A and B are shown apart, each in its own frame.
Chain A
Amino acid sequence: MIFKRRFGWKLRDYPIAYKLTVTYVLLTVIPLLLLVYVSYTQYARSVEEQIGEYMPRFLYQANADIEKHIDELTRLPDMLFNSEDVLTILRRETYDRRSALNRDQYAMNSYLARTYTSGRNADVMGVFVLSNGRLFYSAKVGFKEDDWNAKLGDYIGGVKTTGSQARVVLPDEIDVSLDTDVPYVFIHKPISDNDNRRNLGTMMIAVDLSFIDDIVRNFEKNERAELWVMASTGKIIYHTNRHKIGTIDEEKIRYPTLNGSFRTSASDPAKLVSVNQSPERGWILVHSIPLKDLTERTDLVRNVTVFVIIGIILVTSFIAILLSYSMTRPLKKLSSLMKSVERGDFQVDLQVRSGDEVGTLARSFNSMISTIRELIQQNYQIEIRQKEAELYALQSQINPHFMYNTLETIGMAVEEGETEQVVDMVTLLGRMLRFSVSNQSKSVAIAEEVQHVKDYLTIQKFRFEDRVHFEIVQMMDDEDYHTLYTPKFILQPIVENSIKYGLETRKALEIYLSVSQEFGARSGKRDIVFRVRDNGPGIDGERMEELEQSLKKISFEGRNAHFGLINVNARIVMMHGADYGLQLHSIVGKGTEVIIRIPMTRGETIASADD
């Protein structure tokens, strides 16, 4: 239980790939193996049981055949009684002359040859009749021993005859042996004179047991099957392996049945043994075959199946591992990418091409990262440009050159005693400085912005007197003029530009500024439009093109001649989008018109946008 809990606890913490593979193994491999194992064992068992069931029946039949045959053989001695002459000879006890004995011997031997050894009884190898000290015989096979007749006589003399029943004598019970390789037994039968109720002698018939071969080979052709016949004592009378004839089957006493079949693993290899015991003589016919031979075909199927299954398991496991990896690899990559994103690196791309959920996830991740990246980029650059623009605007406001010129002009006015002019100029300059310094917000009301440029131009007018003329026209109602807002310092850089280039070439520069509300084709609503027109030198085509390119890019390429224009444009685009910004119209030698277009923005919107 502890193990189980620990295992369960551990399993939860294992990687998905591990879990997937284990699940696969549990769901696929184990049922597959179980199925194969169970079906194989059941099949092998049923084969064994089938054979175990029909083999005893065969044996029963075969044993009955053997018994019947032996019975027939045991009745062979009765044929002696068919001949009166034979009975007469057998009943004779003494002879007067040797020739009389020899005549009987001849008659008897030829009768035995006629009746037993030649002709019908193919199984009879020899007959031996011992009667009143005489030995009559006829044999197809000789004995190995030379003094066989004495030994045979000794044997027969030693056997206590009980009744007149025929008895089967195994070759090793007797001291003599036939000069042959075939299995044989002797049938021993006392010859009794039923009429006189006397014993006339003994008959021994040597019987070839090869007929059992014919009987058993009818139903068993497998070379590795062993068949044997043994007496009830376990002594083997007949065996397909001739060397075992005469030995004793030691295992016989341990057989669980003598009529049936059983599986034994006592011997190696394990065998299926079927036995049948004949009811009369008690002979046991045994059939033994290695289990392997029975299930040979099954084993082949099993081995092939096992190898195929192992192959399938290997291949499918490989596929399963591959699959789980292909599933978890993007996840792992995602997690590592997320870590690097966490560290601040947004330059990542999750390379997953698949169209499944993982692919969707990867694409969503990619688009999320790129969106984040873009947003960062945008905010970052807008911030920088605004800062730069503000810095520039700040710099222009407190332009030392402008300050110096203005102060010099004031100084000259003081010398000339034009007190009223001095007061105006100082007032204007003060107001300009206050506008620049005090107001921290990025946007100001249109009125303030226009007032600021008006102050600037007025100061320049004091300085250049008749060389500068300007006109400011307000083409909107006062309320809008005071409540609508505009980015700060968008007019001064443009006006500065006009004065700078205009005074270089013109004796008298005229600047015209208008503030109006117009319908904008690009924004689709009413916008605020500032127009700054001068009669300066204009801009030639080449420069104009460059300028327009720079305005479109909204980039900063150093502080060139038109930095002021570009900065204003960039700030407006960054704050209000590409629909707004600067437009230039210029005719060389006649003048330039700069149109600044901004959306109508109320103060509160600005405040919230500014944050």
Chain B
Amino acid sequence: MFRIFAIFLAAALLMTACDSSTSKGYELIYSMEPESSAEAKPPAETSGPPARYQVAFVPKVGNDYFMYAAEGAREAAEDLGIDLLYREPASADAELQIEIVEELIERQVDLIALSANDPDKLVPILRRAMDEGIEVVTWDGDTQAEGRRFFVNMVDPEVLGRHLLDTLALTMGEEGKFAIMTSSFSAANNNEWLKWIKVQQQQYYPDLELVTTVTTDDVTERAYEAAKQLLADYPELDGIIGNSSVAPPVAAMAVKEAGKLGRVKVVGLSNPNLMKEHLLDGSAQMSTLWSPKKLGYLTIQLANDLLNGKLPVDGREIDGVGNIRVNGDMVIMGEPLDFTAENVGQYDF
């Protein structure tokens, strides 16, 4: 009897001695493995070599500004691993761009990023492209909203327009006559800036007088002629605003040639590389622009996001660009940069 009793006692002690964890190794108690991670993996795998996107990058025309934009676009395409097709029209003509788009539709590209020469004329062909399943975004020069998914704008047009006049007013001492050289009256972005230049003048600078607005068609030769014509037509002219990148350098050159260096102030939108010489010799006072490389880079980044189903989000930081702003279907890259004789050497575009 005592033997059995002892066995029970021993069993009791044994039970208390050994814990429940008799199994060796790992025993899962609780898992909160997020389901999204399981879903997120397969797409990550499929975005490999077979799905290499074809993106077409179309500028208004082949000039320095658009060349730099294309450079940025190529860099982004390389970083993201997508194929970039660069198609530039021989001149800043909407008809030529329509031909290019037709060809791209035929090639069945995945996306067309276009800087439109005309906001209206291109809409039908872009809508056709969208019907064919091709995504369309615009950059630099916008079209009507129905012709594209979103527009990648460099700067806020209001800010730019007002700022351009401010820089001119500053150099002219807020009084005198000035002229504006714009690309064409059909380019949507240039028109928008023009509008804000005029608003700013009416609001703050009653002593400034806009004498005329001429077009350049973004062609250097035509611009040069126009600049010379301006100086000839308006001998008492005090300042020129170049509203597209080709205008300020040729204006500065014309001023120099006319021997009016320092008397006629030149400001406007242009690349620092084109303006460096004129800024240093005093034929131009200030140049304002953004980095066209950055614009090209951002456009391709956003194009890639769109192809992956992501629309741009306000305040998002784009690697290599910075924070973007989104206003409706318009993306704003950032603030304009001012180039003067002091800092123009720092920029390479």
B-binding residues in A (CB < 8 A): 17-18, 21-22, 25, 29-30, 33, 37, 41, 44-45, 48-49, 52-53, 56-57, 60, 81, 84, 87-88, 91, 163-165, 192, 194-198, 254-266, 270, 272, 279, 291, 302-303, 306, 309-310, 313, 317, 321
Contact = CB atoms under 8 A, between A and B. Distances in A.
B317 to A, nearest CB: 8
22 contacts: A17-B1, A18-B1, A44-B19, A57-B32, A91-B346, A163-B79, A195-B347, A195-B349, A196-B347, A197-B75, A197-B291, A197-B294, A197-B320, A256-B28, A258-B33, A259-B34, A264-B27, A266-B24, A270-B19, A279-B37, A291-B19, A309-B12
Interface stretch (B2-10, B155-163, B202-210, B244-252): B2-10
B8 A163 contact: no
B320 A164 contact: yes
B62 to A, nearest CB: 20
B23 interface: yes
Contacts of A192: 320
A21 B24 contact: no
Interface of B: 1, 4-5, 8-9, 11-12, 15-16, 19-21, 23-34, 37, 71-72, 75, 79, 290-291, 293-294, 297, 319-322, 337, 343, 346-349
Nearest to A78: B322
B26 A262 contact: yes
Contacts of B319: 163-165
Contacts of B293: 195-197
A255 B16 CA distance: 29
A44 B346 CA distance: 69
B5 A25 contact: yes
Q: Lowest 9 A-B CB distances belong to which pairs?
A: A260-B31, A52-B29, A195-B291, A263-B27, A91-B346, A52-B30, A197-B293, A262-B28, A41-B20
A97 to B, nearest CB: 17
A84 B343 CA distance: 10
Contact of A197 (B19, B297, B322): B297
Given A29-B8, A195-B349, A261 B29 contact: yes
Contacts of B37: 279
Nearest to A255: B26
Contacts of B31: 257, 259-260
Nearest to A14: B1
A37 B15 contact: yes
Contacts of B347: 195-196
Contact of A306 (B11, B16, B79): B16
B30 A56 contact: yes
Nearest to A194: B294
B73 to A, nearest CB: 11
Contacts of A258: 33
A259 B33 contact: yes
Contacts of B29: 48-49, 52-53, 260-263, 272
The residue in B11, B26, B72, B79 that gathers the most chain A C-beta atoms within 10 A of its C-beta is: B26
Contacts of B72: 197
A260 B348 CA distance: 52
Contacts of A303: 16
Contact of B34 (A29, A30, A279): A279
Nearest to B20: A41
Given A194-B320, A303-B16, A88 B28 contact: no
Nearest to A251: B26
Of A41, A57, A196, A310, most B-chain CB atoms within 10 Å:
A196
Contacts of A259: 31-34
Contact of A313 (B4, B9, B343): B9
Contacts, number: 130
Contacts of B24: 265-266
A196 B349 contact: yes
A344 B286 CA distance: 145
A265 B33 contact: no
Contacts of B4: 22, 25
A313 B16 CA distance: 15
A260 B21 contact: no
Contacts of B346: 87-88, 91, 196
Contacts of A321: 1
Contacts of B337: 195
A21 B5 contact: yes
A306 B17 CA distance: 11
Contacts of A17: 1
B16 A302 contact: yes
Given A22-B1, A196-B293, A197-B297, A264 B25 contact: yes
A258 B31 CA distance: 8
Contacts of A265: 21, 23-25
B112 to A, nearest CB: 23
Given A194-B321, A266-B25, A317 B5 contact: yes
B80 to A, nearest CB: 10
Contacts of A313: 8-9, 12
B26 to A, nearest CB: 5
Nearest to B29: A52
B342 to A, nearest CB: 9
Contacts of A279: 34, 37
Contacts of A260: 28-33
Contact of B348 (A87, A196, A310, A317): A196
Contacts of A302: 16
Given A291-B21, A302-B16, A30 B348 contact: no
A257 B12 contact: no
Contacts of A262: 26-29
Contacts of A198: 348
A18 B346 CA distance: 105
Contacts of B75: 197
Contacts of A261: 28-30
Nearest to B349: A196
Contacts of A197: 71-72, 75, 291, 293-294, 297, 320
B26 A25 contact: no
Contact of A53 (B19, B30, B33): B30
Contacts of A44: 19-20
A540 B285 CA distance: 183
A257 B32 CA distance: 9
A302 B16 CA distance: 8
Contact of B21 (A21, A29, A165, A270): A270
Nearest to B15: A37
Contacts of B19: 44, 270, 291
Contacts of A45: 20
Nearest to B75: A197
Given A37-B15, A309-B12, 6 more contacts: A17-B1, A21-B1, A56-B30, A197-B293, A259-B31, A260-B30
B291 A254 contact: no
A478 B343 CA distance: 180
B9 A310 contact: yes
A255 B25 CA distance: 10
Contacts of A25: 4-5, 8
